[in-house]
Every structure is written in structure tokens, then in C-alpha cells.
Amino acid sequence: MKRVIILLLILTINLNAQELKNYEILNLKHFEVEYAQEGVIDKETGFVRANSSEYFVSEYQDAKDIAMDYLQNKLELYGLTDLNEFRVRKVVESLTGEFAYFDQYINDIPVYITNFTIFIDKDKVVRFVSNEFRNISNEKKGELALSLTKCMDSIDAIDIAKRHLNILEKSQIIGDYEPGAWLTYFESEDKEMILTWAVNINCYNPSGNWYVFIDAVDKQIIHIEDMTVRADLPALVHNPNPLVTKKVGYSGSYVGGPNTNSTLDAAREQVVLRDITYYNNGNVWVWYYLQDHIVYLMKEKIQKLLMMFI
């Protein structure tokens, strides 16, 4: 059999933990689209949201330069007027070409959950475009710039988020992680585009990777979402643990070189480990509760799980 990783999991669960309440307030404005000859169209504005039949040839060879050349020529198609809104996040090579990813910035502040993707094939031709940028008038940009002079500071924003989540003690927050806050423009269903503080708090109680968006001027919470990604994982376990039952160590007939042998293999059973994973700031905590068991997790299963958090 393939090489396996052995994990002995000994975890305790606080049965007196605070009952999880519904802290979420979902208020992000989503695009309503329809399909047309020119691609996927925004119902409200009429601008293109996705175009899978694009064919644009540039004089440039570098993917970033080709993408910028495309934008220079096609901005109006997407209801955009200012190239300064585009910030290159990354260019990724694939088997069929390259993807250029852009984030949207206004007044040097990011606009929340915006992405503009341009696919360039091996022949250096733009073939596909996806547009999630927010359409913001010059008048609105002026209003947003003015709000920067009136906004509260990040400490106040973090305090507001903590109070809403009922975080009263440091022990409720995971590890040494400190809540973070940054300014971002957020387009909500009821307030349109406003300047907000985005506060991220990772905590045990209430359990979640919380993102709290607070109006930076009037200090009202407008959106709260738990960004925790959870995934159950199949595993092979010994139930009961044969080494404990026979009161022997991992030696003798129970050792098959670098791999387990048939004696151990035959004693295993398949189970599903319920995920109680936390993720924050590029770090992954993968915790599984399976008391008094030796757990065998296939290496590729672990890698697949961790890829979900990258």
C-alpha cells in the first residue's frame, strides 16, 4: 500500500462552550445577469460581465502588457473609464495560456470582492474576459474620497466588531492571532458604495473566521460573514487500537518497514472525520476529534484538504 502518515489525535472539546448564534448579516450587492450575443450582460447597467468569444490581437508579447493594451481599447465595453482603477494581482501560466488577474482600487483603496480576469492563449490572443468590477461614477468617487476625511480609526472598528460577536475575553480568540482591520469600499444592497472598515477576527467562541464590515463614517455594521472553510475527510482508523489491546509497542510483527503491514491493515475500518478546522492569515489549523484512536490519513488526502485553504 502507499506510504501513510500516522496521527495520534488526543483532543478535548469544551462542552460548556457558548452556543453559536446567528451573527451573520449578509448585505453584499450581487450582480444580476442575463445571456446575450455579446456575452453575459449586467441586467442593471447593460455592461458586459463575461465574454467567452473575445478575439483581440495585441502588438505586445508580455501577458501583462497585452492585458493592459486590451483594457485601453475595451474599457467602455465594461462601463469603466479609468485604467488607474486596475491593479495587477498576479499573472498565472496554464497549459493553454496565461491568466492576468486585476483588483479594483479607488483613491488607492481596494473595492471589496472585485476581480477582472483576462485569458491570453498561447498565440498571445485575448480569448476570454470576466468582469466583476463595480461601476462607479466620477461624482461618486468624489463622495468616497470625502468620506476618508470623516472616518473613525481601526481601533474603534475592532471594538465594534468584538461587541457584536460578544467577544469579552482574549481566550475566545485563536492562539496569538490579533484582529486585523483595513479600509475597503463595499457596495451593499441598501447603502450602495460606501467606505468601510473590514475587520477580521478568528475565534473559538463564537466559532468562525469572521469578517465584519462597518461603515467607516456612521459606525453601523452593514455586513458580517463567517469565511471558515470546512471539509470532512475520509480516514482509516483502528477501532479499537490493536497495539493498546495487545499491550505491545509499534514493533515486531506490527512493523513492515516504512509502511504498515497486512496485520495492521486488516484491523482498520473506514470512517469520516468531522472537520473542525480554522483558517487565518495563511496559517491552517486542521483539527479532528476522534478519541482513543490511531488515525491513518493518506498523504494525498491531506494535500487535497490543505489546497482548499490556499
In a domain, residue 154? The reply is yes
Last residue of a domain, one of 226, 260, 275: 226
Domain identity same for 214 and 295: no
Asked if 116 and 171 sit in the same domain, the reply is no
Residue 84 counted as domain residue? yes
Same domain, 91 and 168: no
The C-alpha cell at 31 is 450582480
The neighbour count for residue 99, using CB atoms within 10 Å, is 18
Q: Residue 99 maps to which CATH number?
A: 3.10.450
Give the integer Cα–Cα distance in Å for 55 and 225: 38
CA atoms within 13 A on the CB side of 32: 4
Mean pLDDT by 10 residues, the chain (310 residues): 35 32 79 87 92 94 96 93 93 92 95 93 95 92 92 95 91 82 93 93 86 95 83 64 59 51 66 52 40 39 40
- Is the distance from CB of 222 to CB of 196 less than 8 angstroms? yes
184 and 209 fall within a common domain = yes
Q: Indicate whether 28 belongs to any domain.
A: no
Residue 150 belongs to domain with CATH number: 3.10.450.40
Single residue among 79, 100, 131 that ends a domain in this structure: 131
Residue 66 lies in a domain: yes
Last residue of a domain, one of 194, 226, 258: 226
CB under 8 A, 24+ apart: contacts of 7-12: 7/294, 7/295, 7/296, 7/297, 8/294, 8/295, 9/288, 9/289, 9/290, 9/293, 9/295, 10/291, 11/287, 11/288, 11/289, 11/291
Q: Could you tell me if 221 and 235 lie in one domain?
A: no
Does the pTM surpass 0.75? The reply is: no
**What pLDDT score was predicted for residue 279?**
39
- Do 234 and 276 sit in the same domain of this protein? yes
Residues 205 and 236 in one domain: no
**In this structure, what are the phi and psi dihedrals at residue 254, rounded to the nearest 5 degrees?**
-95, 5
What residues contact 283, with CB distance under 8 A and at least 6 apart? none
How far is 1 from 236, CA to CA, in rounded Å?
13
The answer to whether position 21 is within a domain reads no
Residues 253 and 194 both lie in one domain: no
Structural domain boundaries, residue 53:
33-131
CA torsion 194-23-203-14 (nearest 10°) is 180
Asked if residue 276 and residue 196 are part of one domain, the reply reads no
- How many domains are contained in the chain? 3
Domain check: are 215 and 246 in the same one?
no
Cα angle 164, 110, 67; round to 5 = 145
Whether residue 240 has a cis bond before it, omega within 30° of 0: yes
Residue 301 lies in a domain: yes
278 domain residue, yes or no: yes
Burial class from Cβ neighbours inside 10 Å (0-12, 13-18, 19+) for residue 148 reads middle
Both 46 and 78 in one domain: the answer is: yes
179, 244: one domain: no
> Does 58 map to a domain?
yes
